[in-house]
Amino acid sequence: MSLIVQKYGGTSVGSVDRIQNVAAKIKEQWSQGHKLVVVVSARSGVTNDLIARAKALSKLPDEREMDVLMSLGEQETIALTVMALHAIGVPAISRTGAQAGIFTDDIHTRARITRISGGDLLQRLEEGKVVVVAGFQGVTEQGEVTTLGRGGSDLTAIAVAASIKADLCQIFTDVDGVYTADPRIVLNAKKMHEISYEEMLELASSGSKVMQSRSVEFAQKYNVPFEVRSSFNDLPGTLVKAIDKTLEDAAIAGVALDRLQTRVTVNDLPDNPQAIAALFDDLGEAGLSVDMIIKNLGNGGKSNLTFSVTTDQYCRVEKVVGDTLKKLGSGSVRSAGEISKLSIVGVGMISHPGVAGTLFKALASVGINSELITTSEIKISIALDPAKADAAVRAVHTAFGLDKA
Amino acid sequence: MSLIVQKYGGTSVGSVDRIQNVAAKIKEQWSQGHKLVVVVSARSGVTNDLIARAKALSKLPDEREMDVLMSLGEQETIALTVMALHAIGVPAISRTGAQAGIFTDDIHTRARITRISGGDLLQRLEEGKVVVVAGFQGVTEQGEVTTLGRGGSDLTAIAVAASIKADLCQIFTDVDGVYTADPRIVLNAKKMHEISYEEMLELASSGSKVMQSRSVEFAQKYNVPFEVRSSFNDLPGTLVKAIDKTLEDAAIAGVALDRLQTRVTVNDLPDNPQAIAALFDDLGEAGLSVDMIIKNLGNGGKSNLTFSVTTDQYCRVEKVVGDTLKKLGSGSVRSAGEISKLSIVGVGMISHPGVAGTLFKALASVGINSELITTSEIKISIALDPAKADAAVRAVHTAFGLDKA
């Protein structure tokens, strides 16, 4: 008999039928004697409807009031899910974020969890009830409703699992688990049975959109093992947990691809640390993050800088950098076109010499000679011509032996 | 500068346009320096949609979860109303029932208010903000969401007005105020400038559907004067307040008509107090209330009973009474057809002899000779043939001089 936290996303609870499916899945576990806390999202589409109504009244609605509004979707789902459970004979009770004691700071629409009291969750579980908790929402110490921003329901599930010391946290989603590469690109990509928090984090920040980094970071910090699995079949998913590096066999765990990056080139920047610091400070203050930076010395005491940003941020980046260059009195900024970013990730990488050699040989075999490269302890990322990206992913996947089970 | 509580019903906030109208009305008062608490209902239709979704999942949804669900409508309106106020430059903040400290018992879907802490309402008003409070909802001392049942938003407004000692409570609705008779029946019915709590209560229980009795009772208990007025025009409405009877001039204040009553006849009931008590006890336990009871002696130690019930309850009444008669071993129950109930109401009645005489003369003039009559200190009610009801209301209205201003 285990204590399990399950999370179902917006697609999984998108209609009355699907809520009934989720209820049936819950009943199966509950019938085996497990204690269950279920975290649910808003029905897909509901939150967007609410936002549309707000925008009709105000171009820039107050964020505090947006939270009052956006928390409604999850509140609807908890009540409906409990009703569906009652209808099939499972005792259950709903809990809003506030009732579950999910306390946050007061940064509305993207609040951070500060503590979890858990409310009366353990007591209700002891009574034999399934407790259905609203994801994505919390409450400040002053009693104001907050929402947690993107990926908030995953975060709720992992935070609740940490606070009640659950044996397992299951994230039910619309993918089967975490793969060695995108199965739409690499036909024989394999679902990983397990993966470390570090690898999951690098994958999350490398275009593998299974989960937001913040949820994985939270799980790592509080050592909450969690499973990513599909709500539409009964196959086991991928278990994300702490893994001792020295026990690792394989050099790399997977290959990720991020298609939507733009390469930015800044020419004739004054070649001193203050100028470069000013440029990245201004970008940071505007909330814009850059990736894969390289610097070359130019002519006449100037330097040239190249870095990548996500394509949707390019216009703002151009404006901010342009303003900085005006202050500095020198330099020009332009887009050097779109790139894709291929990353290989693996905690074993550091203890396996020759990883970079294998990578570049594989890339060379499909005619790629990249100039933009970044590395971390467990990741190497390369900027690529988007036209060659799929072939590169396949070549790298094969070169590291990931095609075999 | 006054402290005013305003309440806007579901029709008044039924769309984005109407919410903007309400915001404009609020701004007008706020600009004059008044402090405002605004209580709002769910947009009309929203609560019914939520109920339909619940019924699709469960024939008899858990009442606790129904409250979690049904409280969503008002929570949406408070956020949208605040956004509309912000958009026209009025500082405002929303408060759920729980945040406004509206504590109730745990009788879900029809909870009773037990105390009001008011939360931080006065502090927010002091900061110059309009506070927008969700009507219809409260919270138990244990933190469970509750709803107050029919007329709940009016009750919220009056209870908040009592707790913050407001100078005035305005109930904005889809009628202009309280009339001496239904203006659709009596063309020259007059809007009353003011009326006592007692008269308003008798009118509320006599088919004048302006407000539920419980809100008027609450206002009377805590001596909260309130005004019933239209949200669609700027005309003054009717002020309901404590009025000293001895100062009253007119014998009666108004004429009310309740169309949907059914007369129930019970024949051959054992003629002893236990039998009659058993019958009304059983009806009371089933939550069925009866009105206008008369008893006649029948043959052979039996009695006949006639009373009226609201027509929508007749089927259940017949079933409950049938069961009681089976236990008693004697008697039969049947419907004696639909009736309308005409009531005249007025605190001055008791000090004006001849009121009954004037009433029966007026009724006789339109050919009515009723057998079902009940009286209270400030009301006389008569059962009528529904076909003659409109003519009767007009005749009585004229006979008591209500046609004149």
Which residue of B57, B78, B145 is in closest CB contact with A80?
A: B57
Q: B383 to each of A102, A107, B284, how far by Cα in Å?
A: 58, 63, 22
Residue that is written with structure tokens 């909330």 in the block: A287
CATH number of the domain to which A326 belongs: 3.30.2130.10
Euclidean distance between the first and the last CA atom of chain B, given in angstroms as a whole number? 32
Indicate whether B262 and B169 sit together in one domain: no
CB contact under 8 A, A75 and B68: yes
Closest Cα of chain A to B330: distance in Å? 42
**Does residue B230 lie within any of the structural domains?**
no
**Does residue A370 lie within any of the structural domains?**
yes
Asked if the C-beta of A99 comes within 8 angstroms of chain B's C-beta atoms, the answer is: yes
The kind and range of the H/E element at B307 are: strand B302-310
Residue B50 with chain A: CB contacts under 8 Å: 76
Cα B266 to Cα B203: distance, rounded to the nearest angstrom:
28
pLDDT of residue A135: 97
- What is the overall mean pLDDT for chain A? 90
CB contact under 8 A, B83 and A96: no
Indicate whether A31 and A126 sit together in one domain: yes
Cα B110 to Cα B101: distance, rounded to the nearest angstrom:
17
Select from B181, B177, B189, B161 the least CA-distant residue to B240.
B177
Asked if the C-beta of B278 comes within 8 angstroms of chain A's C-beta atoms, the answer is: no
Could you write out the DSSP letters of every residue in B333-374?
Answer: EEEEEEEEEEEEE-TTGGG-TTHHHHHHHHHHHTT---S-EE
Cα B259 to Cα B42: distance, rounded to the nearest angstrom:
28
Of the pLDDT bands very low, low, confident and very high (cuts 50, 70, 90), residue A210 is confident
Domain boundary among B149, B174, B199: B174
Indicate whether A154 and A268 sit together in one domain: no
CATH number of the domain to which B134 belongs: 3.40.1160.10
A242-269 burial: b if 16+ Cβ within 10 Å, else e = ebeeeebeebbbbbbbbebbbbbebbbb
Query: How many helices (H) and strands (E) are present in chain A, helices listed first?
Result: 12, 18
Q: A362 to each of A179, A189, B206, how far by Cα in Å?
A: 20, 17, 88
SS (H, E, C) B227-265: EEEECCCCCCCEEEECCCHHHCCCCCCEEEEEEEEEEEE
Q: Residue A77's closest chain B neighbor by CA?
A: B69
- Is A19:A86 a contact under the CB 8 Å cutoff? no
Q: B387 to each of A310, B189, B254, B288, B360, how far by Cα in Å?
A: 76, 20, 21, 26, 18
The kind and range of the H/E element at B325 are: helix B314-328
Asked if the C-beta of A62 comes within 8 angstroms of chain B's C-beta atoms, the answer is: yes
pLDDT, tens digit only, all 405 positions of chain B = 899 999 999 989 999 999 999 999 999 999 999 999 999 999 988 988 999 999 999 988 999 999 999 999 999 999 999 999 999 999 999 999 999 999 999 999 989 999 999 889 999 999 999 999 999 999 999 999 999 988 899 999 999 999 999 999 999 988 888 988 888 889 888 898 999 998 898 886 666 677 888 899 999 999 999 999 998 888 999 999 998 755 556 678 899 998 888 999 999 988 888 888 888 889 988 888 888 888 787 777 888 888 889 888 898 899 999 999 999 998 999 998 899 999 999 887 777 777 888 888 899 899 887 777 888 878 888 888 999 999 999 999 999 988 875
pLDDT of residue B379: 87
Indicate whether A52 and A155 sit together in one domain: yes
Number of separate domains in chain B: 2
Tokens of B343: 């009531």
Domain boundary among B112, B140, B174: B174
Mean of pLDDT values over A22-35: 95
Residue that is written with structure tokens 């353990």 in the block: A122
Beta bridge partners of A209: none
Mean of pLDDT values over A64-72: 96
**Is the model's pLDDT at A205 over the cut of 80?**
no
Indicate whether A280 and A383 sit together in one domain: yes
Asked if the C-beta of B78 comes within 8 angstroms of chain A's C-beta atoms, the answer is: yes
Cα A311 to Cα B164: distance, rounded to the nearest angstrom:
54
**Does residue A181 lie within any of the structural domains?**
no
pLDDT of residue B157: 97
Residue that is written with structure tokens 């209609």 in the block: A15
Cα B62 to Cα B143: distance, rounded to the nearest angstrom:
17
- Is A215:A222 a contact under the CB 8 Å cutoff? no
**Does residue A140 lie within any of the structural domains?**
yes
A210 in helix, strand or coil? coil
Domain boundary among B113, B143, B174: B174
Number of C-beta neighbours around residue A154 at 10 A: 29
Indicate whether B151 and B11 sit together in one domain: yes
**Does residue A383 lie within any of the structural domains?**
yes
Asked if the C-beta of A358 comes within 8 angstroms of chain B's C-beta atoms, the answer is: no
Residues contacting residue A271 through CB under 8 Å, at least 6 positions apart: A297, A298, A301, A302, A303
The domain of A36 spans 3-174
Asked if the C-beta of A66 comes within 8 angstroms of chain B's C-beta atoms, the answer is: yes
Strands A226-230 and A168-173: parallel
Residue B58 with chain A: CB contacts under 8 Å: 83-84, 86-87
Indicate whether A154 and A259 sit together in one domain: no
pLDDT of residue A298: 77
Mean of pLDDT values over A19-35: 95
pLDDT of residue A127: 95
ipTM for the predicted complex: 0.77
Which residue of A59, A64, A83 is in closest CB contact with B65?
A: A83
pLDDT of residue A152: 93
Closest Cα of chain A to B116: distance in Å? 16
Residue A83 with chain B: CB contacts under 8 Å: 54, 57-58, 61-62, 65
**Does residue A133 lie within any of the structural domains?**
yes
Residues contacting residue B193 through CB under 8 Å, at least 6 positions apart: B236, B238, B239
Q: Residue B82's closest chain A neighbor by CA?
A: A65
**Does residue B162 lie within any of the structural domains?**
yes
**Does residue B206 lie within any of the structural domains?**
no
Q: A386 to each of A314, A315, A356, how far by Cα in Å?
A: 17, 20, 21
CB contact under 8 A, B79 and A68: yes
Contacts 24+ apart (CB under 8 A), B113-121: B113/B138, B113/B148, B113/B155, B113/B159, B113/B218, B114/B141, B116/B159, B116/B160, B116/B162, B116/B163, B117/B163, B118/B160, B118/B163, B118/B164, B119/A143, B119/B95, B121/B37, B121/B95, B121/B160, B121/B164
**Is the model's pLDDT at A5 over the cut of 90?**
yes
| Chain A interface mutation, best of B47, B62, B68, highest count of A Cβ atoms under 10 Å | B68
Indicate whether B273 and B144 sit together in one domain: no
pLDDT tens digits, A344-377:
998 877 777 778 888 888 998 998 877 778 888 7
The kind and range of the H/E element at A394 are: helix A389-399
pLDDT of residue A246: 55
CB contact under 8 A, A79 and B86: no
Q: What's the distance, CA B166 to chain centroid?
A: 22
Number of C-beta neighbours around residue B359 at 10 A: 22
pLDDT of residue B404: 79
**pTM for this prediction:** 0.80
Indicate whether B167 and B260 sit together in one domain: no
